[in-house]
Amino acid sequence: MEFVEIARFSSRLEAETVGHALDQFDIPFFVQSHDVGMFGPGHTGPTPGGAGLRVPADRAAEASELLHCAIEPLSDDIASEDRQQTATKIPNPEKDR
């Protein structure tokens, strides 16, 4: 199953919290980051490089729509930094009108 990043957060804790909102819709997720714990290095807060929230590619649009009120769309810069997977932008209904 291919997972794609739909959002990036400053810490694993934030990403996990938002990701668990998908549980009630049976959308699996995982958080990818280079951290040493959910509160960041030494429990000091943000994780260098942030934490990416990833969902199955075939559920990315659905997950993005469900989480739209809680997260910002990925910028083109962040999306291009994702070297292993293609980052999916969160649709913005206000912009698409």
pTM of the model: 0.65
* pLDDT tens sequence across 39-58: 555 555 677 788 899 999 99
pLDDT at 8 over 80: yes
Q: Is residue 77's pLDDT more than 50?
A: yes
pLDDT of 91 reads 46
- Is residue 84 scored above 50 in pLDDT? no
Q: Give the per-residue pLDDT at 63.
A: 93
Residue 1 pLDDT = 85
DSSP output for 22-37:
GGGGT---EEEES-SS
Which fold does the domain 3-81 belong to in CATH?
Alpha-Beta Plaits (3.30.70)
Residue ranges per structural domain of the chain: 3-81
